[in-house]
Amino acid sequence: MRAVIQKVEKADLAVDNQHHASIGQGLVVLLGIEDADTGEDIEWLAGKISRLRIFNDEMDVMNLSVQDVGGELMVISQFTLHASTKKGNRPSYIRAAKPDHAIPVYEAFISKMENESGCKVVPGVFGAYMKIGLVNDGPVTISIDTKNKE
């Protein structure tokens, strides 16, 4: 699994140009799933994101997690995170999981994020055309790959 995590003041999600959901302070998580992803990847990544200390404490130091600040999460499926640009100029998405594997993994990840973080988790719509408007706070943007554990 690959994730791009953005600390946000707020975020809005539109599906097919219709408002779908919004969050306040928290994290927008773009999630890329591949066929090799398992329950172990889900558990590790959900725990890591839930405990990631990237929110400022009273001393203005990034020392608090989304749990600590009572934030919200928006989780969006993002197959393009597994794009390969090694050959040519048109990305290949061959490593991205097909829906029959990706959808159950995506849904399990959302459920695990709710349990791990204790925060409100807003999902995107798998496979839909979406637009995300957000105010990146910091800006803080972090990428994580479960295969590298970083």
Q: Per residue in 1-52, pLDDT tens?
A: 999 999 999 999 999 999 999 999 999 999 999 999 999 999 999 999 999 9
pLDDT band at 150 (very low <50, low <70, confident <90, very high): confident
**Domains located in the chain, CATH noted:** 2-145 (3.50.80.10)
Q: What is the 3-state secondary structure (H, E, C) of 39-97?
A: HHHHHHHHHHHHHCCCEECCCCCEEECCCCCCCEEEEEECHHHHCECCCCCCCECCCEC
Residues 6+ apart with CB under 8 A from 109: 1, 31, 42, 45, 46, 75
Residue type for 125, please?
Answer: V
State the Cα–Cα distance between residues 99 and 16, nearest whole angstrom.
19
Active site members:
80
Q: Per residue in 44-92, pLDDT tens?
A: 999 999 999 999 999 999 999 999 999 999 999 999 999 889 888 999 8
